Amino acid sequence: MNPKRVAIVGASGYSGEELVRLLLSHPGVQLAAVTSRQYAGQTLAQVFPKFAHHPRARKLCFSEPKAELLAQEAQVVFLALPHGVAAEFAVPLLQLGCRVIDLSADFRLKSPGVYKDFYAREHPAPALLAQAVYGLPEVYRDQIKSASLIACPGCYPTSILLPCIPLLRAGLVRPAGIIADSLSGVSGAGRKAEPDYLFVECNESVRPYGLPKHRHLAEVEQELSLAAGTQVTLQFTPHLVPVSRGILTTLYLAPNARFDRPGDLGEFGKKVAACYLAAYRDEPFVRVLEGQNLPDTKNVVGTNVLELAWRLDPRTGRLIVMSAEDNLLKGASGQAVQSLNLICDLPEITGLV
Amino acid sequence: MNPKRVAIVGASGYSGEELVRLLLSHPGVQLAAVTSRQYAGQTLAQVFPKFAHHPRARKLCFSEPKAELLAQEAQVVFLALPHGVAAEFAVPLLQLGCRVIDLSADFRLKSPGVYKDFYAREHPAPALLAQAVYGLPEVYRDQIKSASLIACPGCYPTSILLPCIPLLRAGLVRPAGIIADSLSGVSGAGRKAEPDYLFVECNESVRPYGLPKHRHLAEVEQELSLAAGTQVTLQFTPHLVPVSRGILTTLYLAPNARFDRPGDLGEFGKKVAACYLAAYRDEPFVRVLEGQNLPDTKNVVGTNVLELAWRLDPRTGRLIVMSAEDNLLKGASGQAVQSLNLICDLPEITGLV
Amino acid sequence: MNPKRVAIVGASGYSGEELVRLLLSHPGVQLAAVTSRQYAGQTLAQVFPKFAHHPRARKLCFSEPKAELLAQEAQVVFLALPHGVAAEFAVPLLQLGCRVIDLSADFRLKSPGVYKDFYAREHPAPALLAQAVYGLPEVYRDQIKSASLIACPGCYPTSILLPCIPLLRAGLVRPAGIIADSLSGVSGAGRKAEPDYLFVECNESVRPYGLPKHRHLAEVEQELSLAAGTQVTLQFTPHLVPVSRGILTTLYLAPNARFDRPGDLGEFGKKVAACYLAAYRDEPFVRVLEGQNLPDTKNVVGTNVLELAWRLDPRTGRLIVMSAEDNLLKGASGQAVQSLNLICDLPEITGLV
Amino acid sequence: MNPKRVAIVGASGYSGEELVRLLLSHPGVQLAAVTSRQYAGQTLAQVFPKFAHHPRARKLCFSEPKAELLAQEAQVVFLALPHGVAAEFAVPLLQLGCRVIDLSADFRLKSPGVYKDFYAREHPAPALLAQAVYGLPEVYRDQIKSASLIACPGCYPTSILLPCIPLLRAGLVRPAGIIADSLSGVSGAGRKAEPDYLFVECNESVRPYGLPKHRHLAEVEQELSLAAGTQVTLQFTPHLVPVSRGILTTLYLAPNARFDRPGDLGEFGKKVAACYLAAYRDEPFVRVLEGQNLPDTKNVVGTNVLELAWRLDPRTGRLIVMSAEDNLLKGASGQAVQSLNLICDLPEITGLV
């Protein structure tokens, strides 16, 4: 059987670069095309010397991003583009029969109205929203397998949704009053030459930003609401910390339980443990930590794993859940490859361990 | 008038080193003695080459820590020692007539029972608790001036108390359900040669630790309760981030108000602004940020300033307050020198700008 | 064919941990045993949660390090131990028929006298020195294939030898007066809980150390002398810089040529280019950069590649060669796996790309 | 006596910001004006919230940079501008009677021809070169005192010149074959929003750049040649390392001596020690380290001190000298304030300790 041919549109940002890395060594597909206006005509090896020891990187040239050519070269196309731009490529590619895995925010929301509210522009292709599948394999595995358009979740959303969805579905925590406090590495801002992201401005700096209405809120609330069966409004505070990669999210949740008698807390803890066990025991990329272990971004950076731990605070009765992931892998390109494996009928871990 | 003579017991840790730096160039006092079992007999310049260009550092030798000698050398003694050990020194020094500024946790709590609950040992000198003044000048300025024993607040507590106390005193926020999510630089752990604090373990690492019952909770809850006039139980999650210095705290507070009509939120915002203005307009070391500015540790590291900003979230009705400080200055040694200036009747900013 | 069974003695340091990572996912061998006094009885997943998503890591327990047991479990044994200790394990393992790949310095030198001079102790097993092969595949590929005892090069030596050996063999540079100025990440110091390697001591710090007689000099001079056909004495200055991984070495070399006429410099440059092309064109793990590119540790960290670039200075007539590698991979564990592949008759890149 | 009034032209870069910090708290002068096209009309406190606790920063507004206005406001004007632009301001300011302290490269070279060779443009004001004094107080103290135009040395040059000049003047080392290998923090590149200086590109990265003909070479060779009494050609390799501030330079020098007899090396070492003692014993900002201490940027960052240490290598006969400084203080703004103090007849350390 011939390996599926895949292409990347917009391979020059950090997510695109990670996609290149993953797909160059992916045993089940062939990286057939990469596009970049800026680098058209140069080989992957010339633009990214770090891939130069890979034979294919010395041959494959960046081409101009044109849908017709891409559709000839590849059966699956990844879009690693800014929101707004991604939708413009998705439309013709889908018409030409490609399956599209979009890493932007363009197809994550079901409602064009919410899109407009958070992204301050009309949705560029609202007709496609209904067919897009939210690319979180742990939640939408079956739909992804047959999807023609997959909207990969954002990095913050992944770090919030995987810890919360099982608890909300099981009714263990209240949908109201959830707080997500997130710490992100600087690659989350992309390869943008802006003063805020200069080394000297980020190094030895810890700072909140973008609160209280960050764009990622929209998709998180949509998915939490679906899990809870009721509208969820989230409090979300992102912070920038001086690491290149990684997101650490701390969630403050209210148990849907009363702790009146001595054993109640322990009882509830067992339910949380059982809930996570049922949800993630067989998931290759979610690791529920045991014992005294707490998440640490350095243990997941470079992998597609999200790790999480939880603590019940007997003094306040709150449930604290913490998660760590690599924002460019489980939070972006790794998760996109998980979806690729699903639509190619390959083992989900192919090329990711 | 002769400058007051001061001494530092335990000058080899990070707080002690910062105290040395501040006191060497303090124009109103003379650093008369420094003690360290480990370095006894060596000059300050030999132990810390970075101070070697200061003439006094080339002369002043570390001595063995003995209360009698210290009382002869100095009128004010700083204790930069682990908790438990500090109390052992405070007792004889006070008896010998010294004024003591303790940077440890030994005299921060009013209740020996709470001390035992959080520090897992009997308090070593409970009789002194009543006379100790909590060394937060913005709150206890008058009491500090005449205190013989000053218990300097911890680094996390300072970052939580200064933003919360004015709001609680004014009844603007509810005492229940407060959440403090803090990010600390690694110097907060002290100069301990433990694997957890090695460069390779901290660099490119973001991680929570010590939850849900961190020792600093005890003093924070004591002071918040005093401000609120009712018992406050705090949710507190400390995280370690890869910076040497700095604490960034994000506080989640529930306004003591209802936002039913369109203008209510704006109205409440004005009250918050007025409350902070009244509390901190004349404080040299608290900076309430204006406009779009948010706290950033890099803007306060190396200074004794705590900066804070707040946002009212119209979607959730919550008040978010963020603060940034240098954990070794406003969170430790700088704040201790503020107290020194108060008891010496010097301008409070002496040696701190 | 059954995959070769391999074991790691001393898997708890940074090199050992990298070996575990590489061997867990190596498609041609089975990690049959790991030993550690400290962790005996615990699984790999318990000690290193970051490997917990690998099925084998959840089953494989650390055992006590005993040669007889190891020889039953494994055909090839890696020693990731301090120098001196490694030799004690190598002797019985070789007698029991294992092939040994040693990452310590114990078998890198041909001369017990030089060992004593640089390591300040008698060599613990001088009889084995003659049979040990220096594990630099680009230089000793054939000898490694049949070796029973492989002495993997140190991290600094690899970064110096690969750039210099082809030039010395070709007589293009003078053996006298070579200077190597190296910058190392902190993992080079190992997982030692010493104050010098604490985050706060390394972060925002750049410093030389260990000059002028660093232990690695001995093996570098041995190998440079073999390449030059004459005794080489090296000037070597290591520096510690605040990165977790990576070594950048800048070499100052005197061309064995005179630049009297206008074209002489260009002529010599062509010889250097041809020399490197011949030496490394077919090497999978040495990348000679082209055009304006210069080595950057971030382009090699996480890979087994050493990259190098050179410049001829027309003002001074000197040849400057710069190399970058991951000290834990090409400088330690990755190079050790290269040797493993050679002795197992597997493609040299197996498990390394 | 009224304090001298000073102004800063171009106060928005990193050196300018440091100048603002130093001059706001300088007890002997008054910061009378700051200019910036970008920020004209805003207060210092608005542009740099970190200075907002300083009363003067809340009042002083950035103005448009106009020579006539500056000459009315200030007696001494600092130019913190790109090269080329600085000269355009210096000409009218000098004509209007101001004394000018220029932090750019415009007046560091004696020869307009060398300027053209290294900066690829005609010198914009060659007539001023003769009157400019190179602002290295340890070398040109007397000339600075009466200078109207002071050309502050670059950061790399300072780290090379202070270690080399006494040795060359004393004839202790040979002028030929000197090598300077320098490691710089990222602030050395200025506040330029270029991809190369983004956090993600610099963090976990160690890399050489700009060799073999860096612009700073011109002024270093000029000053080394003056010290040696003969033309000196330098080998210089700058590297970028992930710290915000600091330069560490390692110098390789050939002793002007023969080490034939056993005691020769020790004898020469005594001469080096005596040479440095004579040169720097009374210098407040040069620290020659003793014993086993080696320079470390973290011990000088935030200060105006350059520290240095030297080692004689008995194996190679070479003299290695290492220096560390804060590139923005002793390498730029601190050194400029040293010159300010000299021309204002203030103690040289005023405002710098």
| 3-state class percentages of chain B: helix first, strand second, coil last, to nearest 5 | 35, 20, 45
Contact between A296 and B242 using a beta-carbon 8 Å cutoff: no
Mean pLDDT of chain C, nearest integer? 95
Q: How far apart are CA D123 and CA D104, in angstroms?
A: 13
Q: Phi first, then psi: what are they for A149, rounded to 5°? A: -135, 115
Residue recorded with tokens 């990469």:
A34
Cβ D79 vs Cβ D102: under 8 Å: yes
Interface test with C, best of A50, A245, A299 (most C CBs within 10 A): A50
DSSP β-bridge partners for residue A324:
A248, A307
Rounded to a whole number of angstroms, the distance from the CA of A103 to the nearest CA of chain D is: 20
Q: How far apart are CA D343 and CA B151, in angstroms?
A: 47
Q: How far is CA C80 from CA B130, C104, C141, C330, C352, in A?
A: 57, 7, 21, 15, 19
Cβ D313 vs Cβ D253: under 8 Å: no
- Judged by a CB distance cut-off of 8 A, whether residue D49 touches chain B is yes
Amino acid in the structure at residue B247: I
- Judged by a CB distance cut-off of 8 A, whether residue C224 touches chain D is no
pLDDT at A170 over 80: yes
- 3-state SS, residue D294: coil
Cβ D119 vs Cβ D215: under 8 Å: yes
Q: Who contacts B242 (Cβ-Cβ below 8 Å, separation ≥6)?
A: A241, A242, A243, B186, B202, B203, B204, B205, B206, C199, C203
Q: How far apart are CA A100 and CA A344, in angstroms?
A: 12
Q: How far apart are CA D318 and CA B206, in angstroms?
A: 44
pLDDT at C294 over 90: yes
Structure tokens at B235: 């949710």
Give contacts of D194 with chain A, Cβ < 8 Å. 193
| Tens of pLDDT, residues C9-32 | 998 899 999 999 999 999 999 999
Cβ D47 vs Cβ D76: under 8 Å: no
Structure tokens at B144: 């500090």
Better-scored residue on pLDDT, B109 or C1? B109
Mean pLDDT of chain A, nearest integer? 95
pLDDT band for B1, please (50, 70, 90 cuts): low
Q: How far apart are CA B120 and CA B218, in angstroms?
A: 12
Give contacts of A47 with chain C, Cβ < 8 Å. none
Cβ B350 vs Cβ B28: under 8 Å: yes
pLDDT at A1 over 80: no
Burial classification of residue B69, based on how many CB atoms lie within 10 Å of its CB (0-12 exposed, 13-18 middle, 19 or more buried): middle
Mean pLDDT of chain D, nearest integer? 95
Nearest to residue A326, comparing CAs of A201, A159, A191, A139? A159
Regarding beta strands B179-184 and B247-253, do their DSSP bridges make them parallel or antiparallel, or are they unpaired? antiparallel
pLDDT at B325 over 90: yes
pLDDT at residue number D90: 96
Minimal Cβ distance to B193: which of C187, C198, C204: C198
Full DSSP string of D16-70: HHHHHHHHHT-TTEEEEEEE-TTTTTSBHHHH-GGGTTSHHHHHPBEE---HHHH
| Tens of pLDDT, residues B61-80 | 999 999 999 999 999 999 99
User: For B217-231, what is the mean pLDDT?
Assistant: 97
Q: How far is CA A173 from CA A307, A321, B138, in A?
A: 20, 11, 39
Catalytic, A155? Answer yes
Rounded to a whole number of angstroms, the distance from the CA of B205 to the nearest CA of chain A is: 5
pLDDT at residue number C188: 94
In chain B, the percentage of residues whose pLDDT exceeds 70 is 100
pLDDT at C182 over 90: yes
The residue from C152, C155, C275, C344 that is catalytic is C155
Nearest to residue A75, comparing CAs of A26, A7, A147? A7
Full DSSP string of A199-228: HHHHTT--EE-S-S--THHHHHHHHHHHHH
Cβ D75 vs Cβ D90: under 8 Å: no
pLDDT at residue number A178: 98
Rounded to a whole number of angstroms, the distance from the CA of A275 to the nearest CA of chain C is: 19
Give contacts of D50 with chain B, Cβ < 8 Å. 298-300, 303
In chain B, the percentage of residues whose pLDDT exceeds 90 is 91
pLDDT band for D238, please (50, 70, 90 cuts): very high
pLDDT at residue number C40: 93
Structure tokens at D227: 């010290």
Better-scored residue on pLDDT, C157 or A54? C157
Q: Who contacts D260 (Cβ-Cβ below 8 Å, separation ≥6)?
A: none
Q: Who contacts D211 (Cβ-Cβ below 8 Å, separation ≥6)?
A: C311, C313, C320, D236, D237, D238
Residue recorded with tokens 């710098």:
D352
| Tens of pLDDT, residues D120-174 | 999 999 999 999 999 999 999 999 999 999 999 999 999 999 999 999 999 999 9
pLDDT at residue number D94: 97
Amino acid in the structure at residue C324: A
pLDDT at residue number A211: 87
pLDDT at B257 over 70: yes
Nearest to residue B322, comparing CAs of A237, D8, C257, D44? A237
Minimal Cβ distance to D353: which of B25, B293, B302: B25
Q: How far apart are CA D139 and CA D161, in angstroms?
A: 9
Q: Who contacts A261 (Cβ-Cβ below 8 Å, separation ≥6)?
A: none
pLDDT at residue number A333: 98
pLDDT at residue number D213: 81
Nearest to residue C305, comparing CAs of C350, C347, C353, C273? C353
Rounded to a whole number of angstroms, the distance from the CA of A78 to the nearest CA of chain C is: 23
pLDDT at C280 over 80: yes
pLDDT band for C211, please (50, 70, 90 cuts): confident
| Tens of pLDDT, residues B129-172 | 999 999 999 999 999 999 999 999 999 999 999 999 999 999 99
- Judged by a CB distance cut-off of 8 A, whether residue C120 touches chain B is no
Q: How far is CA C144 from CA B315, C9, C155, C165, in A?
A: 67, 20, 18, 18
Structure tokens at A116: 């407009």
Q: Who contacts B261 (Cβ-Cβ below 8 Å, separation ≥6)?
A: none
User: For D31-48, what is the mean pLDDT?
Assistant: 93
Q: How far is CA A295 from CA A243, A249, C282, D226, in A?
A: 15, 9, 42, 59
Point out the least confidently predicted range of A154-163, A207-216, A239-248: A207-216
DSSP-assigned letter for residue A97: T
pLDDT at residue number C297: 98
Nearest chain A residue to C291 by CA: give it: A46
User: For A280-304, what is the mean pLDDT?
Assistant: 95
pLDDT at residue number A214: 86
pLDDT at residue number D151: 98
Q: Which subunits have 3 or more CB–CB pairs within 8 Å of chain C?
A: A, B, D
pLDDT at A11 over 90: no
DSSP β-bridge partners for residue B239:
B183, B208
Minimal Cβ distance to B52: which of D52, D287, D353: D287
pLDDT at residue number D328: 98
Cis omega (within 30 of 0) on the bond before B212? yes
Residue recorded with tokens 């050493």:
C306
C-alpha C227, offset from chain centre? 18
Structure tokens at B224: 């918040």
pLDDT at residue number D53: 82
Nearest to residue B106, comparing CAs of B97, B352, B96, B94? B94
DSSP-assigned letter for residue D163: H
